[in-house]
Amino acid sequence: MSAAQPALVIISAVAADPILESLQRRYASRSCLLTNLCRAQVTVDVGNTTAADRLLIEGVSVDVNRIHGIVVSGVACQAPPGYSGEDSRYIELETFAIWIALLSKARCRVLNRPRFGALPPGLSPFQVRAAARQAGVPTVTDELCTGADLLKRQARGTRTACLDLVTQSAFWLGSCPVFDDGRLYSATALTFGEPQVLLTYVAGRCEGYVIFPHESHAASSDALLPATLGEATESAHHLVSILGLDYGFLSFRSAGKRLEFCRAYAHWPGGTLSPVAERTAAALADELGRS
Amino acid sequence: MSFEALILGHVRDSTIVHVRTVAQNLGIRVAFLDIGEYLVDGSIEAASGQSIFRARGRAWSLDEFPCIYQRAYAALDASPQARSRLLALETGLYSCASEVINRPFGGWQNLSKPFQLLMLQDRFTVPPSRSTSIPDDYRLFREAMSDVIYKSNSGERSIVDRITPEHDGRTERLATCPVLFQRQIIGDDVRVHVCRGEAFAVRISSDAVDYRYYKARGSFAHLEPQATLPEDIRAGSIAFAATCGVALAGFDFQG
- Does the distance separating the beta carbons of B130 and A84 come in below 8 Å? no
Per-residue pLDDT tens digits for B120-172: 999 999 999 999 999 999 999 999 998 999 999 999 988 899 999 999 999 99
A1: confidence class by pLDDT, cuts 50, 70, 90: very low
For residue B175, give how far its alpha carbon lies from the nearest alpha carbon of chain A (Å): 6
Q: Kindly report, residue by residue over A126-156, the tens digit of the pLDDT.
A: 999 999 999 999 999 999 999 999 999 999 9
* Residue A215 clears pLDDT 80, i.e. is over it: no
Residue of A nearest to B46 (CA): A143
Residue of chain A whose alpha carbon sits nearest to that of B114: A101
Q: What parts of chain B have a pLDDT lower than 70?
A: 1, 47-48
Closest-CA distance, B17 to chain A, in angstroms, reads 26
A181-212 pLDDT per residue, tens = 899 999 998 888 888 888 999 999 998 888 77
Q: How far apart are CA B62 and CA B100, in angstroms?
A: 10
Looking at CA atoms only, how far is residue A202 from chain B in angstroms?
A: 25
φ, ψ dihedrals at A194, nearest 5°: -75, 125
| pLDDT of residue A257 exceeding 90 | no
Q: Is residue B6 within 8 Å of B30, Cβ to Cβ?
A: yes
Question: Per the CB < 8 Å rule, is B152 touching A116?
Answer: no
A278 vs B223: which has the higher pLDDT: B223
Chain B touched by A39 (CB under 8 Å): no
Write out chain B residues lying below 8 Å of A85, CB-based: 76-77
Interface TM-score (ipTM) > 0.95 = no
**Does A79 contact B at CB distance below 8 Å?**
yes
